[in-house]
Amino acid sequence: MDIEVAIKRAGEQMAAWGQARASLEETRLEQVLTAFRNHKIGVHHLGSATGYGYGDVGRDALEEVWAEVFGAEAALVRQQIANGTQAIYLALSGNLKPGEELLYLGHPYDTLEQVIGAKVPTPCSLVESGILYREVEIDFNSPDITAVLAAIRPETKIIALQRSRGYEWRPSLSLDVMAKLIGGIKQVYPDVIVFVDNCYGEFVEYCEPTAIGADLIAGSLIKNPGGGIAPGGGYVAGNRELVERAAMRFTAPGVGREVGASLTENRLFYQGLFLAPSVVGEALRCAVFASALFTELGFHVLPTPDAERSDIIQAIQLESPERLVAFCQYIQKYAPIDSYVTPEPWDMPGYTRQVIMAAGAFVQGSSIELSADAPMVEPYIVYLQGGLNRYHGKIAISNTVRELAQRGLL
């Protein structure tokens, strides 16, 4: 296969895919605009506050806009939430008491292993606090609802689902499949809380899990919903009472959402949310381009170029550690920031295996910007995601392939 021919074909597939998607992006942007209008967002919301942050109007209105866009009763959207892991921790720990059980469908994302503390005993983990934990395997394409129902016990308080594939060779959980699953659970167990780890899923589909029955969701602002503009932060959204409990865990019992000043201008969060529908679309085009190109080159990819997507991740089986490390190094080389840096595998905090991460991003570690990461395990799958615009994705991925070929690694 001639590489230049493959690059040209992948570009054509990306363009065709993007055309079919355009109306979804327009619909999602219209939801955002409507929420801004309904809450009369004005210049006075875009600044920042200091100190305790009582009556921080920009922050409070942002949380209301967020709830509306996400089809939720309430949201906690804060700069001080350090990452997606903390947002998920707040949602779970705020709503589980000792003796109650968290039941995960499938496996949690790597950094949650220590939050849960079942496999990796960890100070302050859920398990250390007396919370029970179990996992049940599911097929993410067509989950067996009967098996899920059979796994629920009187102690089961929260059922957790991860929408994105994370670091797993499995499909993302589509909203249609998720809606059926939640409906099936709620029919028999209306009081069980369904939590969704929504990281990497925001704005990929027509709505968010909270609009189709999930009680509580969480995610990171340096992934999809920050639109590449938010400099940090995380969110929890869902039923008001559940979000309030997460907020108590976030600040202090009795204090909740009332404090936590927006120290950085709120404009970055509003503008990020406004841009998110189209930025997520750009990231998806980059993923489709990579999927099409590596398919042409004979690699196993997930998802395939024209498959349905519910997250922005593109997984590619690179089959050798040398090719995996080189891939990440070239993605870094063609990044706008830190192009001169060479990423290497390392023991990253929160991860239990060595990972390599390429992220030459304006916002450090932002993975709505083009980034590639991978745990160093067979069959050496790289997880590629992000891209603030399709041209950067195309340039970086094409040049990565050209360089891999020159080094005899293809």
The span of 6-14, 161-169, 271-279, 370-378 binding ligand PLP (CB under 6 A) equals: 161-169
- The residue nearest ligand PLP at its CB is 84
We find the least distance from the C-beta atom of residue 94 to ligand PLP, in angstroms, to be 17
Residue type, 229: I
Closer residue to ligand PLP (CB): 49 or 173: 173
Tokens, residue 407: 């080094």
The tokens describing 30, both together, are 């219209």
205 binds ligand PLP (CB under 6 A): no
Kindly report the number of other CB atoms within 10 A of residue 54's CB atom. Answer: 9
Kindly state whether residue 164 participates in binding ligand PLP, applying the rule CB under 6 A.
Answer: yes
Which range binds ligand PLP by CB under 6 A, 26-34, 36-44, 82-90, 122-130? 82-90
Give CA torsion, residues 341, 292, 318, 114, to 10 deg.
70
Residue 329 engages ligand PLP in binding (rule: CB under 6 A): no
**Considering the complex, what minimum distance in angstroms separates the CB of residue 353 from ligand PLP?**
15
109 touches ligand PLP (CB under 6 A) = yes
Q: Is residue 31 part of the contact set for ligand PLP (CB under 6 A)?
A: no
- Residue 83 binds to ligand PLP (criterion: CB under 6 A): yes
Q: Is residue 85 near ligand PLP by the rule CB under 6 A?
A: yes
| Interacting residue with ligand PLP among 60, 101, 197, 296 (CB under 6 A) | 197
CB distance 89 to 79 below 8 Å = no
Helix count and strand count (H, E) for the chain: 10, 12
**Minimum CB distance to ligand PLP, residue 111 (Å):** 5
- Kindly tell me which residue out of 93, 95, 111, 310 binds ligand PLP, with binding defined by CB under 6 A: 111
Which of 106, 117, 166, 386 is close enough to bind ligand PLP by CB under 6 A?
Answer: 166
Residue 122: is it exposed, middle or buried by C-beta count within 10 angstroms (0-12/13-18/19+)? middle
CB of 210 to ligand PLP, least distance (A): 16
Query: Taking a C-beta distance cutoff of 8 angstroms, is the pair 126, 117 a contact?
Result: yes
Q: Which is nearer to ligand PLP, 68 or 197 (CB)?
A: 197
Q: Which is nearer to ligand PLP, 85 or 398 (CB)?
A: 85
CB nearer to ligand PLP: pick between 224 and 266: 224
Q: Does 203 bind ligand PLP (CB under 6 A)?
A: no
> Of 174, 220, 251, 266, which one interacts with ligand PLP (CB under 6 A)?
220
Which of residues 66, 200, 294, 351 is near ligand PLP by CB under 6 A? 200
Minimum CB separation from ligand PLP for residue 215, in Å? 18
Which candidate, 339, 321, 214, 266, places its Cα nearest to that of 77? Answer: 266
As measured in angstroms, the least distance from the Cβ of 159 to ligand PLP is: 16
Which positions ≥6 away from 183 have C-beta within 8 Å?
213
**84 by DSSP, 3-state: which?**
helix
Residue in 58, 84, 94, 343 binding ligand PLP, rule: CB under 6 A: 84
How near is the Cβ of 322 to ligand PLP at its closest, in Å?
Answer: 26
Instruction: Give the range of 142-150, 197-205, 327-335, 392-400 binding ligand PLP by CB under 6 A.
Output: 197-205
199 contributes a contact to ligand PLP by CB under 6 A: yes
For residue 218, which phi and psi values (nearest 5 degrees)? -150, 155
Distance in angstroms (rounded) separating the CA atoms of residues 292 and 399:
15
The Cβ of residue 409 has, within 10 Å, a number of other Cβ atoms equal to: 17
Cβ-Cβ contacts under 8 Å for 11 (sequence gap 6 or more): 289, 394
- Asked if 371 touches ligand PLP (CB under 6 A), the answer is no
Degrees, nearest 5: CA angle 126-108-369: 115
Tell me which DSSP letter residue 400 carries.
H
User: Considering beta carbons, is residue 162 or 262 the nearer one to ligand PLP?
Assistant: 162
Report the C-alpha gap between 37 and 35 in whole angstroms: 5
Give the list of residues 6+ apart from residue 8 with CB closer than 8 angstroms, or none: none
Using the rule CB under 6 A, is 314 a contact of ligand PLP?
Answer: no
Q: Give the tokens for residue 19.
A: 């055309």
Peptide linkage before 253 cis (omega within 30 of 0): no
Distance between first and last Cα of the chain: 11
Using CB under 6 A, list all residues that contact ligand PLP. 83-85, 109, 111, 162, 164, 166, 197, 199-200, 220
